[in-house]
Amino acid sequence: MKPGNGELSEGDRAPDFELPSSSGKPVKLSSMRGKSVVLYFYPQDDTPGCTREACAFRDNLPKFGGLDAVILGVSKDSLASHEKFINKYSLNFTLLSDEDLVAHKLYDTWREKNNYGRTYMGTERSTFVIDGKGKIKKIFRRVKVDGHESEVLAALQA
């Protein structure tokens, strides 16, 4: 982290965390070393934008796997909610439940949002591409869903 602004930068070591996962076992980020990790934060299971984003990652999983990359989706939803989301859309990657906002706070994705004049706290849609050594290779903030999986693939290939 750069001193003063509290925000992560490309080249920083990715903050480690452990969260319950849809695979049934807790996932510790540092246990993924040796592979690239696409760590994406999204606001809520089974909402239009989040569903399009998850399905785009699902549909392109072979391309990510071909680059030796693992996809981890993170939201504050419960594991039960994740299970319904996975089953409804046949998602083929791991979702992490961050109900206590541990990873959200480490990655500064729990932010003040403004919608039609109403201010509230929520997840800022963000993606972090982490290399096999645990360093942040690319950061995408305030992600626009359409075409995002192509941007992430390009970052992995760079």
Assess whether pLDDT exceeds 80 at residue 2.
Answer: no
- The per-residue pLDDT of the chain, averaged, comes to 94
pLDDT digits (tens, 9 = 90+) for 94-149: 999 999 999 999 999 999 998 899 999 999 999 999 999 999 999 999 999 999 99
pLDDT at 6: 58
**Active-site hit among 14, 19, 32, 50:** 50
**Residue located via tokens 């791991």:** 94
Structural domains of the chain ordered from first start:
34-157 (3.40.30.10)
Assess whether pLDDT exceeds 90 at residue 1.
Answer: no
Tokens, residue 147: 């075409």
Average pLDDT over residues 69-96: 97
pLDDT digits (tens, 9 = 90+) for 12-32: 999 999 999 999 999 999 999
The neighbouring-strand residues paired with 73 are 40, 95
| pTM exceeds 0.85 | yes
Active site residue 50: yes
